[in-house]
Chain A
Amino acid sequence: MRSFFFLRWPVADMFRLTSDPIVPTHRSDDQAGAFVTFKGRVRSRNGGRTVLRLEYEAYAEMALTEGNAMVGEAIERFGLVDAEIVHRIGLLEVGDTAVWVEVAAPHRREAFAAAEWLVDQLKWRVPIWKREIYAEGDSGWIGADAPPGGGKFEVEFGRRMTCLHEVGEAGARLLGEARVLIVGVGGLAVGALPALVGAGIGTIGLVDPDEVETSNLHRQTLFAAADVGRGKVERAAAFATRLRPGMRVETFPHALEATNADALIRAYDWIVDGTDSFAAKRLLNAVCRRHRKPLVTASVHRWEGQIMTVMPDGPCLACLFPQSPPEGCVGTCAEEGVYGGLVGLVGSLQATEVVKGILGMSILDREVLLVDLRTSDVTRLARTSRPDCEGCRGELPGSDDPLEVSRLEQAASRFGAYRVVDIREVGERPALAVPHLHIPMSRFDPPSGPMVLVCAHGVRSLVLAAELASLGIPAVSLRGGVSAHPELADAGPG
């Protein structure tokens, strides 16, 4: 249905969404002497980044209702003859028309004013989000523009937070300048993300390669049933910018790996651990220490959670848990189950650590907090730094296998005193240059006390370490053997 010249009243399709290229109606009306057309296009640069394409997403029902109401309001307010807005959704290339606004008025002055008013209102009122996809391969969701009238929305949004004695204007400014990275957009992020957005954190990064699954929903409640099969980081970003349109969300739909962790973590001020594997937690711990970034780490099991904050100079995760558990030793949510409300609580505690850390309040930097929702018990345990902790030095775990070490120093931190035992057969070269016992594997008789077993390539020593471990004898294998550790070899002849 179109608006006819005698009908100056909002009708249903003055505001339209389309996933096809925009074809304006070019309404004409003899009462109108002035037509102003605004065309918004996808540009190739934004904030110093090279934009390859854009994705627009709308909350369609609300966008149509709000959009049509807005155009109707403009017609009344400016005495227009007619007005029309068409907005693209979906993927757009650079140069594509993203939005078309056309205003028909008796005279030019009202037409210009109404067109500008409509574009401002559109960005502020209508729930449409855009994701910029950059040349570097990453992307960022950008919410609606700050509302017209000097960021009134932002002021109102933050008022109850700023009122807190501990926050104030200065604290609110610190929170607004902060960049927080959430690694792993799962259950813990469900608690952390809304609390961080609500606290007014200016920029949030989200890292997760996965898509939303139905079995996630009971605890990952910032997603909706309709999100199943869609990327977690994108859906979480859409949630955040709906809550606070003016904020910045940066999305990385990749797994955290040793190869990308440094670059990701360096770019943020605080890191929130939302991962569900011990290997990922140890990697985060080490890389955060390396770059002196505070890390709030947590984990959950059925009804229980653990949370602690690792500051650059405080005790780290590896101080508390020097060894990674073997696979299958401690369960994941998938294997063990988890109460949905727990992750929201623990994640919210993680966000609170970040907020309090930014504000300079006391945090769990020398304690671990245990929460048990079955009994409603909360327990705080003091933790201290462990001497010679490789995690504190920012070193990646040399081996997550309790039977292996990648350096002799790791045996020191694991055992305290230990002996090096060369298990190669008589005549194998080169000899070891460090103090050691020589007990060939073919006639091995374990000495007393913890030991590091060394062979040529670390294979025989691993087999023997496993055998000794099954007998309750503390032994580890030097990974790679002498061939991987030339510094242990005697350089002399023979």
Chain B
Amino acid sequence: MTVHVRYFAVLRERAGRERESVEIEPMTARELVDRLIRERGLGLPSPLIRIAVGGAFVEDGSVLADGDEIVLLPPVAGG
């Protein structure tokens, strides 16, 4: 199945892209993030990255579905 990932802030810069569609086996939201950390060199510890699916933040164990719109959000500190 395919999910659509959007990267924000430092994650977008590290991933070198703003959005991408990813082919996945059935997996949880956190498993996808861990995979993207490795494949895209996101360079942040996984627990720091928050995951939203379909416009709402989800728990790590939330199971992804075909077509999910996923947003990955890092903490941002600038002011």
Give residues of chain B (56-79) contacting chain A, Cβ–Cβ below 8 Å: 56-57, 71, 73-79
Total B residues in contact with A, Cβ cutoff 8 Å = 21
Q: How many residues from A make CB contacts under 8 Å with B?
A: 46
CA A207 to CA B25, docked complex, whole Å: 51
Tell me if B50 counts as interface (CB < 8 A to partner A): yes
Contact A301 B9 (CB under 8 A): yes
Binding site for B on A (CB under 8 A): 184, 186-188, 273-278, 281, 298-302, 304-306, 320-326, 329-333, 336, 338, 343, 368, 370, 372, 375, 379-384, 402, 414
A300 to B18, CA, bound (A): 17
Q: Report the Cα distance A43→B23, complex, angstroms.
A: 75
Return B50 CB to nearest CB of chain A, in Å. Answer: 6
Residues of A within 8 A of B47 (CB): 322-323, 402, 414
Q: Is the CB of A338 within 8 A of B78?
A: yes
Number of A-B contacts (CB under 8 A): 96
Q: Is the CB of A324 within 8 A of B71?
A: no
| Pairwise interchain contact A301-B55, C-beta atoms closer than 8 A | no
Cβ-closest chain A residue relative to B53:
A381
Q: Are B57 and A383 in contact (CB under 8 A)?
A: yes
Docked-complex contact B18 and A184, CB < 8 angstroms: no
Q: How far is the CB of A364 from chain B (nearest CB, A)?
A: 14
- Please judge, given known A-B contacts A301-B78, A331-B78, A381-B71, whether A375 and B56 are in contact too, CB under 8 Å: no
Residues of A within 8 A of B52 (CB): 381-382
Nearest opposing residue in chain B for A474, CB measure = B47
Question: Smallest Cβ distance from B47 to chain A, in angstroms?
Answer: 6
Q: Using Cβ atoms and an 8 Å threshold, which residues of chain A touch B50?
A: 320-321
Whether A302 touches B9, Cβ cut-off 8 Å, given contacts A320-B50, A333-B78, is yes
Q: How far is the CA of A304 from the CA of B8 in the complex (A)?
A: 8
Residues of B with C-beta under 8 A to A300: 76, 78-79
User: How distant is the Cα of A482 from the Cα of B79 in the complex, in angstroms?
Assistant: 39
User: In whole angstroms, how far apart are the Cα atoms of A368 and B50 in the complex?
Assistant: 12
Give the residues in chain A near B48, CB-CB below 8 Å: 321, 323, 325, 329, 402
